[in-house]
Structures are given as C-alpha cells and as structure tokens.
C-alpha cells in the first residue's frame, strides 16, 4: 500500500470509529456490532503501526491509554471551579427564589437539571481539540488528567461540525454507572482488594490512576452541564448546552425550563421517585438561572455562584432494631464489626446486615444493645448505621462493648496508634487470617489460581493440607478428588492452574504475599527497584524510604515481614517450587536509570526504530514521554518530517533537539 492510500484509509477508519463511538457512548444507539467495531479498530491499529508517520494522539486507537506512570501536573483553572450552595427543603428553595427576585426582578427562567453524583471535570477545547482535562482540585488549581480522560469514550477528543467556539471550556461530571460499579466491586472483593465505598469514590479514584491503560478498562462516563468562554453561541445556558450536543458532547436529556418555583418543585418531586430508574446515581437537582446576562448580574461568592443552587435528596433511610453484632476477622487480622438487624425494606432490597466500621463509630453513636437504629443506603453496596433513635431505648440495655479478644482464636486484640481498627495479632495461628492470606495469594490479580473457592480453601485447611500458600504447590490429586463437590475434572483444573502460576511475574508474586500496605502499585515499584527478592530482603529502612512512593509505613511493614523466619521459610519453599522471585532476565537487559528525570518529546519518523520502540526504550531507562513540547521538556527527539510547530517551540524554549543517533548514544 502506498503512503497516500494508507493515509486516506487511516483517516477514513478514524472517522468511522469516532462516529461509532459517538453512537455507542453518547447516543446509546450503536449501528454495528462490537465485533465489527473491533475489526475496524484492529485495521486502524495495524495501519498506524505500519505507517507511524500518520500517528495522531487524537486517534480513536489512543483511547486505550498507555502504560506510562504519571504524576499529575497542576493546572490553574481559567475560571475558578466553584461548588454549589446546598438546600435540603422546599423552604430553603423559596428563600433562594426571593433572593433572585430581589436582584433581577420577575422576568427570568430557571433550568432544572439532575445533580450527577460523580467527580467534576473541566475540559478545554482549542480549535475543536481536547487539550486539557482538569479536576476541581482546590477550585483554583486542579490536576491535569487529560491522558486519563482521553480514554473516556463519551468525551470527544475532536469535536464534530465546525460551529464551536475557537477556545472554550465545558464542565461536567465524570461518573461510574451503577451496574458497572457493582461488577467492579465484586471483582475487587474476589481478588481481595479493598472495595470502593460508592460509585463517586470509584469514579474519582479511577480518574487519578497513574496508568491510563488501567483507566481505559473502567467504564467511566460523563455528562456535561456548563459552558464557559467568551464567544458562546447563545446568550443563555439552555441553548448553549443543546448546541453542544451537535459538537458531540453527552448532555443529559433530563433538563427542563421552568417558569416558576412550582414547576421547579414538580421537577424535583418527579425525579425523587424516577431516579431509581436511572443507570447512574444522582444525589439531587441543580436549579440554574438561564440567562447568562442575569447570571453575571447575580455574580458569585468566593465559594459558589448566586445564580445556581442544588437541592439534595435525603439518602433513603429505614429504622429497625439491632439484634446482635458479629466481628469479622480479615486476612490482615483487622476486625470489622457488622450489625445483624431485624430485616427491613430499604431502597428496593431487604437489609439484614449493616456495617459499623469500628469502635470509635460505635462510641460516637452511643449505641446500646437492642437499640432502634437508622440505616442508610447511599450509593453504597453495604448499608450503614447512621444513628440511634434514643427515644425508643429500653434504659436497662447497656452500651455496646467492643470485644477485647479475637472471636476466632481468643487472642487479646491490639489497636495500633493512629489507627481506628482493632487487630488480632495472632497472624500464624488465627484461621481466618491464614485462609484469608491464601485466598489473597490465589486471587485473580495475584497468582490467578483458578477453581479454588473460599469453601475449598476452608476444606483443605481443615484437612490440614494447607497451612500457608507454599502448601498449594505440594497438593496432590488424591487429596483433592475426594473433597466435597470436587471431582477429577476440578482437581485437574486446580492442579494445572497452580502449575501455570509459576510463570506469574515477580511483581505480582510480591503482591500475592499479602504484605501489609503492599498493594499492586507498591509491588510494581518494588520490583522496579529490586530485581530479586534477595535484594529486597537486604534493603534497610533508609534505603527503602529513598524510593519514590515508598513511605515509612510501607518500609516498616516490609522489614517486619522479612524479619519473620516463618515468612522467609515460606518464600524459600515457594522459590524451590519454581515461583518467580526475580524479574525476568529478558526484561532486565533493557533497563537502567540513565534517563531518569528526563522528559522526551518524539516527533517524526526514524530509521532504526519505530516511534513505539523509542518510547519504550525511554521508559525502560527511567525517562518520561510527553506529547507536546513545553518548559518541562528535556529533549525533542526529532526524526524525518518532524512537525514544524514542535521544532519552532523547542527552538523558542531553547530545548535541545536531538536525532536518533544522539539518542542511542545517550544509552550507551
Ligand atoms: S453546575 C458553578 N450542574 O455538583 C456551577 N453541577 O455540589 C457549577 N454537579 O460542583 C456546577 N450535577 O461537581 C452543575 N447538573 C449539574 C451538576 C453539577 C452535578 C456537581 C458539580 C458541582 C457539585 C456541587
């Protein structure tokens, strides 16, 4: 294929794919199957690989994110990102309405919108291209999360049509749809990771992830709700938002013009019931003045505009009786109190249990035995007790006393300074801790051992076949087959899965060990700095805290873990069984920190290496890749046909321009 044909084909595919993205993610009206979409995407990726000169960071293929770890740059908002005044009653709304009338008279319109329960984002478009996506931060400056936001399919990277302002900002709410949130938490539970408390936290947490390819895997979505800029098409909020639909933005269809408070009340009341039918959470309604001129006249306080207000729905609550409290022991020995309740109907489900968090919470609520309690279910999956109806209390009922011994092994509990949780310190002898560690070890994101559920682990533990994770590797078929509900087939599957886990890379093995505070990210960082477990075990406290991202708490936890002879013995046994306790040597060859602290911008085409190869070489040697030339760029790595704008900017900022040969020389 010649260059011209390739370019045309690439452009056509990009256009088609964006069109289908838009239909799927914005209009919810797909025109082709997922399979056909994937085929087109594969064609595009293939062509872009063969013809890297046509690379574009705005290509739909880039929506899969990249593996670069990034710390976010802080960006100042062009318009402060204010929040909204809250109201909880129709009375308070009436007061808002009279304040409005005092300033602008009687002649105005309200726009009522849903109040999406997610995390706020400001998107800047220059000449129709998404250039910055910034979180609220402190309202004045926020984090530049553009790379992560580019992975959100319902946010256009390039606008449709041509009638948009040259430079404007649009703000909205990034959220996690309810059903997807439940799935995410379920997966996290299965792999022993901590759960997100609600979809809002899941959205905010995802947006701040360091690795945009991980973000791309999460189904974030976004509704936009306000436009800012000098040259907006209409003098009112409503028409501007409607116009933004033509540019490709996802604007909620549930937006209504209201002439007076009665119509506003009607909107609020009808959505209070209807909101259950939405696929995402809302926590209220936002009421705005439509005319931009009148908005200006009303102005803002330091915290919020005077031309808009939110009405918050009360979280649904129910009252019921506390029957008993159970104390669960996690794999780290942490104790979680869970209340058993007289079953009560709340927001569509029967609630029988609720979380009580910790001793301080129980004391704060002054919870007594058999109290009548209020339960709430916000966006959360686990309902929580939020208060006590003291009027209903039988005065002879004593306050709830937190346990002092482990409910499973009777060891006296401890509470570390600065922590709210109690712990059972009997790591080696407390059954739920032992089983929990094994469950974590085999979980999907750790060693990914299939076919062993909680019940089978429990059976194997009770039979005495499993005392720690290393025993998995000595399990024999005759031990497994007779177990309840297992058989030949399942036993074979388990054994082959255990065997396969020996190829799991070092950083996941480190995570699988379940060392306190060593989650997936920390494990990756450790494996980048220490290529074998032996090296890591030798590291002392001061050396560990030198590493970016490793703080005191993690360092102490690592030292404590490796100072325990039983842990060392288990690691030795695992090593002897062939589990990976060092970084794959083929990975090592390419590594150094020669380029650490340096940021490269690559542009043009090269003779010896593809652009992707150069990018990963930069990363493997500790450097960073960036998409555009700025004051932070260390080198512009320029090949043939380097973009003139990039060259010009680099010259202007006195940034050294190097070619492929210079670059390769830097590595030797
Ligand atoms: S307008 C200056 N409209 O709620 C006015 N905000 O509690 C800017 N929110 O900061 C906000 N849905 O993050 C607006 N339809 C909507 C909204 C909305 C959700 C969020 C937003 C805001 C927060 C205030």
Q: Whose CA is nearest to atom 23 of ligand 1?
A: 83
506-587 CATH fold: DNA polymerase; domain 1 (1.10.150)
Name the β-bridge partners of 422: 335
197 lines ligand 1 (CB under 6 A): no
Q: What pLDDT, on a 0 to 100 scale, did the predictor assign at position 314?
A: 81
Q: Whose CA is nearest to atom 12 of ligand 1?
A: 115
172 lines ligand 1 (CB under 6 A): no
Share in percent of the chain as helix, strand, coil (round to 5): 40, 20, 40
Q: What pLDDT, on a 0 to 100 scale, did the predictor assign at position 588?
A: 66
- By most ligand atoms within 8 Å of CB, the mutation choice from 116, 240, 288 for ligand 1 is 116
pTM above 0.75, yes or no: no
Q: Mean pLDDT per segment of 10 residues, for the chain of length 668 residues?
A: 91 92 82 81 90 88 68 87 89 95 95 95 95 91 92 93 93 93 78 72 89 87 96 96 96 96 96 89 95 95 91 87 95 92 85 89 93 81 86 94 96 88 93 95 91 89 94 94 85 94 94 89 86 94 86 91 95 96 76 85 86 82 86 91 86 89 85
116 lines ligand 1 (CB under 6 A): yes
CA of 523 to the centre of ligand 1 (A): 37
Residue range 3-64 forms a domain whose CATH class is: mainly alpha
Going by their DSSP bridges, the two strands 599-603 and 624-626 should be labelled as parallel
C-alpha to C-alpha distance for 370 and 214, rounded to whole angstroms: 45
Name the β-bridge partners of 236: 291
Identify the CATH number of the domain defined by range 317-392: 2.40.50.140
Strands laid side by side in the 624-626 sheet: 624-626, 599-603, 635-638, 657-658
431-503 CATH fold: DNA polymerase; domain 1 (1.10.150)
Identify the CATH number of the domain defined by range 599-667: 3.40.50.10190
Comma-separated ranges of CATH 1.10.150.20 domains in the chain:
431-503, 506-587
Taking residue 113's Cβ as centre, other Cβ atoms within 10 Å add up to 25
CA of 83 to the centre of ligand 1 (A): 7
Name the β-bridge partners of 130: 125
Comma-separated ranges of CATH 2.40.50.140 domains in the chain:
317-392
Q: What pLDDT, on a 0 to 100 scale, did the predictor assign at position 332?
A: 87
362 lines ligand 1 (CB under 6 A): no
Helices (H) and strands (E) in the chain, counts: 25, 21
Superfamily (CATH) of domain 75-312: DNA ligase/mRNA capping enzyme (3.30.470.30)
Comma-separated ranges of CATH 3.40.50.10190 domains in the chain:
599-667
Q: What pLDDT, on a 0 to 100 scale, did the predictor assign at position 636?
A: 93
Taking residue 265's Cβ as centre, other Cβ atoms within 10 Å add up to 16
Active site annotation includes 502:
no
CA of 214 to the centre of ligand 1 (A): 27
C-alpha to C-alpha distance for 626 and 560, rounded to whole angstroms: 39
CA of 241 to the centre of ligand 1 (A): 14
Comma-separated ranges of CATH 3.30.470.30 domains in the chain:
75-312
């Amino acid at each position: 294929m010649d260059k011209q044909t390739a370019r045309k084909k690439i452009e056509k595919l990009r256009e088609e794919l964006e069109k289908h993205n838009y239909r799927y993610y914005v209009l919810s009206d797909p025109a082709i199957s997922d399979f056909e979409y994937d085929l087109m995407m594969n064609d595009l990726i293939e062509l872009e690989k063969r013809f890297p000169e046509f690379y574009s960071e705005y290509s739909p293929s880039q929506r899969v994110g990249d593996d670069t770890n990034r710390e976010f740059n802080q960006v100042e908002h062009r318009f402060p990102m204010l929040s909204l005044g809250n109201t909880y009653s129709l009375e308070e709304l009436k007061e808002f309405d009279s304040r409005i009338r005092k300033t602008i008279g009687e002649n105005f319109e309200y726009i009522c919108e849903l109040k999406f329960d997610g995390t706020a984002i400001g998107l800047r478009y220059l000449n129709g291209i998404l250039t910055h996506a910034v979180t609220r931060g402190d309202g004045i400056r926020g984090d530049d999360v553009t790379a992560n936001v580019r992975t959100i399919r319902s946010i256009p990277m390039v606008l449709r049509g041509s009638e948009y302002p040259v430079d404007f900002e649009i703000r909205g709410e990034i959220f996690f749809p309810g059903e997807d949130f439940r799935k995410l938490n379920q997966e996290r539970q299965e792999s022993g990771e901590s759960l997100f408390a609600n979809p809002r936290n899941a959205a905010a947490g995802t947006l701040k992830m360091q690795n945009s390819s991980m973000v791309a895997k999460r189904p974030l979505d976004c509704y936009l709700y306000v436009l800012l800029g000098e040259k907006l098409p209409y003098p009112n909020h409503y028409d501007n938002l409607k116009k933004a639909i033509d540019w490709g933005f996802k604007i909620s269809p549930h937006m209504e013009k209201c002439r007076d408070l009665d119509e506003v009340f009607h909107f609020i009341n009808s959505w209070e019931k209807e909101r259950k039918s939405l696929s995402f959470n809302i926590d209220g309604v936002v009421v705005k003045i439509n005319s931009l001129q009148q908005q200006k006249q009303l102005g803002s306080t330091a915290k919020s505009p005077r031309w808009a207000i939110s009405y918050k729905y009360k979280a649904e609550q129910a009252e019921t009786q506390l029957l008993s409290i159970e104390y669960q022991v996690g794999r780290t020995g942490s104790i979680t109190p869970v209340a058993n309740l007289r079953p009560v109907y709340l927001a569509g489900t029967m609630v029988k249990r609720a979380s009580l968090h910790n001793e301080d919470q129980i004391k704060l609520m002054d919870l007594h035995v058999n109290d009548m309690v209020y339960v709430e279910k916000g966006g959360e999956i686990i309902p929580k007790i939020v208060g006590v109806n003291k009027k209903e209390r039988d005065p002879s009922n004593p306050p709830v006393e937190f346990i002092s011994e482990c409910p499973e092994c009777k060891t006296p509990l401890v509470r570390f300074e600065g922590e709210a949780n109690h712990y059972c310190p009997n790591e080696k002898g407390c059954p739920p801790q032992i089983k929990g560690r094994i469950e974590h070890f085999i979980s999907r994101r750790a060693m990914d051992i299939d076919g062993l559920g909680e019940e089978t682990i429990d059976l194997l533990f009770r039979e005495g076949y499993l005392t720690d994770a290393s025993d998995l590797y000595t399990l024999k078929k005759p031990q497994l087959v007779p177990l309840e509900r297992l058989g030949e087939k399942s036993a074979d599957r388990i054994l082959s899965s255990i065997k396969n886990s020996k190829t799991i890379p070092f950083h996941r093995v480190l995570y699988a060990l379940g060392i306190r505070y060593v989650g997936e990210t920390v494990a990756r960082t450790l494996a980048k700095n220490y290529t074998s477990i032996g090296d890591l075990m030798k590291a002392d406290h001061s050396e560990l805290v030198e590493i970016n991202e490793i703080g005191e708490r993690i360092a102490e936890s690592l030292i404590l873990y490796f100072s325990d002879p039983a842990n060392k013995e288990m690691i030795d046994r695992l090593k002897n069984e062939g589990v990976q306790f060092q970084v794959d040597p083929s990975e090592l060859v390419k590594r150094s920190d020669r380029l650490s602290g340096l940021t490269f911008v690559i542009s043009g085409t090269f003779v010896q290496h593809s652009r992707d190869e150069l990018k990963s070489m930069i990363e493997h040697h500790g450097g960073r890749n960036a998409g555009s030339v700025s004051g932070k760029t260390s080198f512009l790595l320029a090949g043939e046909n380097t973009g003139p704008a990039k060259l010009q900017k680099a010259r202007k900022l006195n940034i050294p321009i190097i070619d492929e040969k210079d670059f390769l020389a830097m590595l030797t």
